[in-house]
Chains A and B, each alone.
Chain A
Amino acid sequence: MKTGLGATMVRAGRRLLSSLPALFGVLVFTFLLMRVLPGDPAVFFASGPNAGKEEIELIRKQMGLDKSVPEQLVFYLSDIGRGNLGRSMMTGQPVLKDLRERLPASLELTFTALLIALIAAVPLGVVAALRPGSAVDHGVRLFCALGVCVPTFVSGLLLIYVFYYLLGLAPDPTGRIDVFTSLPPSRTGFLSIDFLLAGDFEGWWAACKQLILPAVSMALFVIAPLARITRASMLVSLGSDFVRTARSVGLSWHKVVVTYALRNAILPVITIAGIVFSTMLGANVLVEKVFSWPGVASYALDALLSSDYAPVQGFVLLMAGIFVLVNLIVDVCYGIADPRVSIE
């Protein structure tokens, strides 16, 4: 018999292999979708509205758009195989470089938002489950409903209005850091960590202040699913036979609720948190726009609006890759948290 961890790793590896065909499918599908969408990038990127036919033809040739779609696909795939995601017409830089610069900003924001959401949602769910049907339970439900109903850009604007305009507590909502702060040497790309590594606590505080509002407005949106799933699985857990056993031997309230009930109830929350994370990373474009956050999602949206194929394709590939990776991490976490998984 394999040890639990070993078996989990084997399972994770198998899962990774089985996701490769799906990734390839995403690649081809996005490619075709971009060609089908109306809009001619060559016209868009020509020098101006008066550009002549010859100029447009020339750009088209440069971009390889004069070839047939299957040929373009083969070129595209062979480029991907060499690690070349193409060049963005918009920024003039390789897509890979653009993504590498902007991904940490998105990741930092999403991680922080997820952390805030979890810290808020799990206790809320637990409290609601401990007193189902009580005022607390209804309060949590109302809060969750509000969080879902209000779109992120509205809650974002509200937060800016209150904390920046009225109270003046928050800094300008203009990106990751105000222009006058000197940036630390980039090691992780996560500004808050880079500042810490550089020992610049003032900078760290400035970065955190910039981060907090967008993160909170994103978190508000995902607290609901996390809190609801925590409540539901906590209810099941509290009503289970093993919690009754724990109570029958007189374990303390804390031990019953945390060690016995919550640790079992947290398992489905891990799964949902993984899904929520992947969704947030792509869907936070509105928050990035409202707070001028230089992330990948707003980059991809700009590219899409200007028919810039390469960045959009690169972005979708990146998202698909992250989705696979996150699922893998969830799988491993689950395998560690639940000893039953490895023996299926």
Chain B
Amino acid sequence: MSLKEKLVSSFLAFELDTNILSNVHKIRSQSIKEFEKIGFPNSKDEYWKYTPVKKILNEKLTLFNKKRHLIEFDKVKDFFLNGIESYKLVFIDGMFDPLWSDTTHEEADVCILSSVLEKEKYNDVISKYYNKLVNSKESFSLLNSSFSKEGAYVHVPKNVVLDKPVEIVHINSGGESSLMLQPRSLIVLDKNSKAQIIESHYSLTSKSESSLNKADDFIDPLTNSLTEIHINENSNLDFYKIQNDIETSSIIDNTYINQKSNSEVSCHTFSFGGNIVRNNLNFFQDGSNINSILKGVTILGANQHTDHHTLVHHANPNCESYQEYKGIYNDRSTGVFNGRVVVDKIAQKINAFQQNNNLIIGDNATVNTKPQLEIFADDVKCSHGCTIGQLDKEALFYLKARGINENDAKGLLTYAFANNVLENVKMQVLKSKIKKIIADKIGVNLGFEL
């Protein structure tokens, strides 16, 4: 049986086991029907041309966890922000872990989606916002809509500035083979509100451990994640995605963001590894005077693969978008950047900027980068640029002439290349955490504190 057939046939059994509101049931049934029709994409599909998705669609994948795995705190404490208070939603192998989580229902709701989906009192919010932004022709989104039942729920009411950042942490315990996880998050910011959210994916199935603990037929987890984000008028969200320590795991991530007038969203994606990682980041500007900021740093090695597909849809006048993605590719790693910008005919006075710079360090690394501008308005400013190259020789000489040895100089320049994208990260603890991860990934010994 193919994975598709297996998933479709398991739907009913799965659904019986799920306690949710009836309108959500409807969404799930429709989604699986649609998925059955279109199935998985393949490399002939332009949208998936450079990402060998077939590689991770193992027919042994399953939606059913065999048991709950416990993890010692010592192993995961570095996954959290240290030194500041935060709300926490922790999921281990897709299941909520209340022990390390810190939820709230006081000035805002920060809790798990499963409990929201089963309670009548959330019916209004769910009917208004759940599954409203999702592309109904995208296989993985449909699959998530069919099977997801757990994830984060963040609702910030109007005029509230959330007092602490929210950490949504997904951890693969590595204790179970063949897991296919379907985390689903819903984030709603009402008018005049503000929040900072960090979503991170970690895996305890690193290569070194896997050879010791795992059987030969161990199949690494595939996470198919979907996040819907609704930003209402005058609101502001800083969203950070961290994909780290997932050497052998794979992630397909679909994030849909809808912005109303006078709102600003910045989304940083830090992709630091993974067997196959695909990020589909979709912005829809549903109003005027909107600013959308998309930034990314990708650092890969070995045979890792990361694919960023961004879409910014300018549907209204007087808005801005700013995209800056940088990639550093070692060994035989491969990267894709496909930045699509759509400007509707009525969307005049748009300022859209897009930049993708890549540093190829490994002799066998590959990058495919493609700006895709579809502009139907005539009074707009859209620019894009991409580079693929090596470290600048003159810069290298400059550093060496100051007494910095070649290796350190290369490391420092590589670090500088990536570090330059972090200027919009407002949370200081997060900024230094990311800087440390970057320095660590590059393997540079910096002569200064971060």
Q: Determine if chain A interacts with chain B.
A: no
Footprint of B on A, CB under 8 Å?
none
Footprint of A on B, CB under 8 Å?
none
